[in-house]
């Protein structure tokens, strides 16, 4: 996982699998990012290959923390399988999905609501998140 600042947003780049064994890394990054009370947090799933229920729980925790801090959360470039889980769990109703980081950044704070069917793209790579 990498964390970078892009304009007014903190971007969390996930790689590999977001699961029980790796979700702790997400929690640690969340705690570090939320200390700065960012206006916008973007989860970049370009290199994410898998997400289980623990990963979904980690995204929910991230959403709660960002919301409590007065910020907004955007999901970007989720691979099809992960986007499907987000949609099946109904999280797409509270976390907007965007085709890439640039679109998530451009959406601004007002960009909300369910995504369209083509708002994600497959990612390449594998292994655990780093």
Per-residue model confidence as pLDDT tens digits over 29-65 = 888 888 888 899 999 999 999 999 999 999 999 999 9
% of the chain at pLDDT higher than 90: 68
Top-confidence residue, 73 or 31: 73
In 3D space, the residue among 38, 92, 30 whose CA is nearest the CA of residue 61 turns out to be: 30
* Mean pLDDT, range 99-122, rounded to an integer: 60
Q: How many helices (H) and strands (E) does the chain have?
A: 4, 5
pLDDT band at 119, cuts 50/70/90?
A: very low
User: At residue 67, does pLDDT exceed 80?
Assistant: yes
The residues that bridge with 128 in the sheet, in sequence order, are 17
The Cα–Cα gap between 61 and 49 comes to 20
* Mean pLDDT, range 100-124, rounded to an integer: 57
* Mean pLDDT, range 15-19, rounded to an integer: 96
The Cα–Cα gap between 103 and 83 comes to 16
Strands (E), the chain: 2-6, 9-18, 40-51, 72-76, 96-98
The two three-digit tokens of residue 97, written as one number:
């999905």
pTM: 0.81
The average confidence (pLDDT) of the chain is 84
The Cα–Cα gap between 42 and 104 comes to 7
């Amino acid at each position: 996982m990498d964390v970078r600042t892009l304009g007014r947003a903190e971007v969390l780049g996930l790689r590999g699998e977001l699961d029980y064994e790796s979700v702790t890394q997400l929690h640690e990054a969340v705690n570090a990012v939320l200390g700065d009370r960012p206006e916008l947090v973007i989860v970049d799933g370009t290199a994410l290959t898998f997400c289980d229920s623990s990963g979904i729980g980690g995204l929910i925790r991230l959403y709660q923390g960002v919301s409590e801090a007065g910020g907004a959360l955007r999901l970007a470039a989720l691979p099809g399988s992960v986007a499907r889980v987000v949609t099946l769990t109904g999280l797409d109703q509270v976390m907007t999905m965007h085709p890439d980081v640039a679109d998530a950044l451009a959406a601004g704070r007002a960009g909300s609501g369910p995504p369209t069917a083509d708002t994600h793209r497959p990612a390449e790579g594998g292994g655990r998140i780093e």
